Structure 1
Amino acid sequence: MTDNTQGTPAPERLQPSGLVRRFLSRDKTPVSVLFLAALVGLAAGLIATLFEIAVHWVSEQRTEWLRDVISSVLPLWLAAFLISALLASVGYYLVHRFAPEAAGSGIPEIEGAMDDIRPVRWWRVLPVKFIGGLGALGSGMVLGREGPSVQMGGNIGRMVSDTFRLKDKEGRHALLASGAAGGLAAAFNAPLAGIMFVVEEMRPQFRYSLISIKCVVISAIVANIVFRSIQGQHAVITMPQYDAPVLKSLWLFLLLGMFFGVFGVIFNRLVTLAQDVFDRIHRNERRRYILTGTLLGGCFGLLLLYLPELTGGGITLIPSATHGEYSISLLLILFLARVATTLLCFGSGAPGGIFAPMLALGTLFGTFFGSIAQLIFPDLGIEPGMFAIAGMGALFAATVRAPITGVLLVIEMTNNYHLILPLIITTLGATMLAQVLGGQPIYSQLLRRKMDKEKIAQREQSEVVNT
């Protein structure tokens, strides 16, 4: 029997093999590139998950070492200083000796590579970022593992392209972006945020095409499946599940977003100032660079003993703040103190990210704002934890300038889907005000700053040669 309108036997069109042939004839995306994107997601998810496990292991071992030292000849404070200093020195040494591009979060390097203005030397970045990141984060410094996961994921994308000798520029670009998406999806257990981060935050560098979108989605899905297979499917941050706030309280979320819009611009400026200060201190000399980082790491070893709230990425601090374990005044003090410690650690050039520290800052000030709002407007029935979640998305949006990514990231990390409307309002207010004030996305600033520094260094070197 034949379908005269199509000229094709009806049973064949309904059979799976016929549908597959029709799909392949219409879809021009090379299947090999999609397969490589899945391979990139598998490797990116694996390395991001192993990095998280290794960071926790090093932190636990550091505590065990301190317990063993209690009964030895060294005082506890001295042992804490030396252990963290040693761990930090490993990270600083590896970065300066083998892969300077592994300093900081590494996300600007991936953005530069997507724009074909930065090289991707995966053979040296991957081991340095992994091992050096373990040292820096294991020392207790205020750094996150998300930026390193994105950079390592992007480098895996380029490694796969080189290994399989992929010549197509569009395919190589797609795999690089896929690795970044997979790294973030696995680091935060947030596949939608991983996809949107590449599409939205990296929009000046990301080449929008059907193959690129497909590869990014496939990589993020596979990477997240790898993470959940190893670490479980629970949310990264354990928080109460809040109901949607009353509509007449939404203006408070807009006000919070405006506060973060102003702070986001100031914070980005402070980050670059902190980097300038450290540049003047070590002057890119290896001994001074390593000594500065070693002393800084040792100081955070002391803080781990006496003020642990001021150390680490801050993810474990978020549930404590939202459960009301800190007073209003202490929330503000912790916020200001962690701003200082974040600037010290990230500005020093340690191989670590700033995602998690920013989320902790957003939580602290959001909870502070929500506690005050609860006292002033008790009839609204609002809870400070609502503003903590909104604050996480707002600060991310104001600094990174990616509001949709901020909304998705916070929702996936906290599993609070009922707060999507106040989250959108808060992040939109933060983004718009930051833009009005002339602020620039932090990773674009860092990339431009690094490029300017290298141009100045090349110019000075050429002048020396000429003279």
Structure 2
Amino acid sequence: MEFHSEGPSKPSGAGSIVSRLLSAEKGSSKVLLWALFVGCLTGFAGALFQIALAQLATLKNMLMNYLEATPGLPLIGSIALSGIMVYLAFLLVRNIAPETGGSGVQEIEGALDEVRPLRWKRVIPVKFFGGLLSLGSGMVLGREGPTIQIGGNIGKMISDIFRVHKDDTHALVAAGAGAGLSAAFNAPLAGILFVFEEMRPEFKYNFLSVQAVIIASASADIMLRIMVGQSLAIPMHMLSAPPLPSLFLFLIFGCVFGLFGFIFNRLLVRTLNFFSALTGWPFTLTGLIVGGLIGALVWLFPDTVGGGYAVIPKALGGSIPVMIMLLVFVARFGTTMISYGSGAIGGIFAPMLALGTLFGMWFGHFAHFLLPDLVVQPEVFAVAGMAALFCATVRAPLTGIALTIEMTGNYLMILPLILTCITSTIVAQGLGGQPIYTVLLKRTLDLAKKIGK
């Protein structure tokens, strides 16, 4: 009897399963390694962005100190400098990458849903340098918008360079976005939860993509800590856990912020539509005028402008009188609307944190006056306010809770934060409001259809 060889037999049964598992494991290892690259690069970019902003602020202060020798000149210089900076940022947006205007979070969500492109060669440099100009001018915007969009585009960049599979590209873009939030606020857990919660309609959940997001967010935070340091994003003293009988006040507080978040979203979109309707003059002229206005406020009323990293410690430390705190809150609400509504590069997280802190401190002092035995530390409502407005507008309570705790280090505030955040979220939803980034993405897609892009 003759036996004819037909080549090596293919593995079957258990051997075939092992072979597939080993192949999948090899592919998974590559994706996780790429996620590590994405996280490190995003953390590096985020740290560099913070360092550059600090240096820019130092240079501006030196210039203002020099101009102070001549009466009236600092005000003129501040108006001119901020106006020119925002004008240049608008120029970059209009001529190179229009999708970089605003926070950019909705662009990442649109890319994950495959309805928006990721032109990383244009977006990364424009978002970085345009963001420096916008935020450095004193606009009421946050650095998390630039870092999230830069992070998502870094994920796309790595995917293109290494020719990554489409599904893995999706995971790396999401991982980059989470890393961007982590790098903005030194908050890796919030970065992870932001992707899982805020981007849940677009994010493709599987074990590999979840691992990629975790690795990228953690590595971005490590890189940030190496370059910038390990201090909290919002340094403050540690608060005691509020008395249990006082918890009902946080439910009331959450209801107030639920209403405020609903109003905030409505007015923000209306402001965007108002500026979009200004077709009678060039887009860049809007930047010049808005920048000039912000520049005037930078010199005359500095607490009403800026991302919020300066005014938050002042409010927490008692440097702003309680009677004036509401006025600063109202003024910053207006400057937030103008800054973001104009289409400038920058996020809205940091401005919302500042608004929540200001109103929360005022509410805390008012509650302390009425119920001194229940409200021993008014600051507890400032911390709760940071998370409450975020949750009411973004509709991501887990992210808001984690972000606030990581930024302030006040872990004993977990129960009041849960009560405040879930209440503000439910009230905002009950009023018929939509999550802000869902609204912004829909608006972006509608505008793209109108102009045929």
Flag the 1:250–1:27 CA change in 2: closer, same or farther, 3 A.
Answer: farther
* Gap runs ≥5 in structure 1: 1-20, 462-467
1:24 Cα deviation after fit: 6.2
Name 1:333's counterpart in structure 2. Answer: 327
1:282 Cα deviation after fit: 3.8
Between the aligned partners of 1:351 and 1:309, the Cα distance in structure 2 is 20
Q: What are the superposed Cα offsets for residues 297-348 of structure 1, whole Å, 9 maximum, x if unpaired?
A: 1121111111000110012211211222223321111111111000000000
1:28 Cα deviation after fit: 7.3
Structure 2 counterparts to residues 89-100 of structure 1, below 5 A: 89-100=87-98
The yes-or-no answer on 1:301 pairing with 2:298 is no
Check conservation: 2:32, 2:215, Cα contact below 8 A. Answer: yes
Name 1:383's counterpart in structure 2. Answer: 377
Between the aligned partners of 1:40 and 1:393, the Cα distance in structure 2 is 28
1:384 Cα deviation after fit: 1.2
Between the aligned partners of 1:346 and 1:184, the Cα distance in structure 2 is 18
Name 1:158's counterpart in structure 2. Answer: 156
Check conservation: 1:181, 1:216, Cα contact below 8 A. Answer: yes
Between the aligned partners of 1:25 and 1:246, the Cα distance in structure 2 is 56
The yes-or-no answer on 1:47 pairing with 2:45 is yes
Residue 257 of structure 2 aligns with an amino acid whose one-letter code is: F
1:379 Cα deviation after fit: 1.4
Name 2:8's counterpart in structure 1. Answer: none
Residue 421 of structure 1 aligns with an amino acid whose one-letter code is: L
Q: Secondary structure at the match of 2:299?
A: helix
Q: Secondary structure at the match of 1:255?
A: helix
Name 2:241's counterpart in structure 1. Answer: 244
The yes-or-no answer on 1:292 pairing with 2:292 is no
Between the aligned partners of 2:319 and 2:254, the Cα distance in structure 1 is 24
- Aligned equivalent of 2:313, options 297, 304, 319: 319
Structure 2 counterparts to residues 137-176 of structure 1, below 5 A: 137-166=135-164, 168-176=165-173
Name 1:362's counterpart in structure 2. Answer: 356
- Aligned equivalent of 1:197, options 179, 194, 197: 194
Flag the 1:208–1:327 CA change in 2: closer, same or farther, 3 A.
Answer: same
Name 2:9's counterpart in structure 1. Answer: none
Residue 32 of structure 1 aligns with an amino acid whose one-letter code is: K
Q: What are the superposed Cα offsets for residues 159-195 of structure 1, whole Å, 9 maximum, x if unpaired?
A: 00001111x2220000000100111101100000000
Check conservation: 1:407, 1:420, Cα contact below 8 A. Answer: yes
The yes-or-no answer on 1:416 pairing with 2:424 is no
* Gap runs ≥5 in structure 2: 1-18
Structure 2 counterparts to residues 200-211 of structure 1, below 5 A: 200-211=197-208
Structure 2 counterparts to residues 209-228 of structure 1, below 5 A: 209-228=206-225
Between the aligned partners of 2:309 and 2:326, the Cα distance in structure 1 is 17
| Structure 1, 67-76 or 407-416: larger mean CA deviation | 67-76
Q: What TM-score results when the alignment is normalised by the length of structure 1? A: 0.90
Between the aligned partners of 2:409 and 2:153, the Cα distance in structure 1 is 30
Structure 2 counterparts to residues 30-41 of structure 1, below 5 A: 30-41=28-39
Q: What are the superposed Cα offsets for residues 16-41 of structure 1, whole Å, 9 maximum, x if unpaired?
A: xxxxx9x9699576211110000000
Between the aligned partners of 1:362 and 1:338, the Cα distance in structure 2 is 11
Between the aligned partners of 2:110 and 2:53, the Cα distance in structure 1 is 27
Name 1:254's counterpart in structure 2. Answer: 251
Between the aligned partners of 2:25 and 2:241, the Cα distance in structure 1 is 42
Check conservation: 2:246, 2:375, Cα contact below 8 A. Answer: no
Residue 233 of structure 2 aligns with an amino acid whose one-letter code is: V
Aligned-pair identity in percent equals: 49
- Aligned equivalent of 1:132, options 130, 133, 142: 130
- Aligned equivalent of 1:264, options 261, 270, 282: 261
Structure 2 counterparts to residues 14-29 of structure 1, below 5 A: none
Structure 2 counterparts to residues 94-133 of structure 1, below 5 A: 94-133=92-131
Check conservation: 2:367, 2:375, Cα contact below 8 A. Answer: no
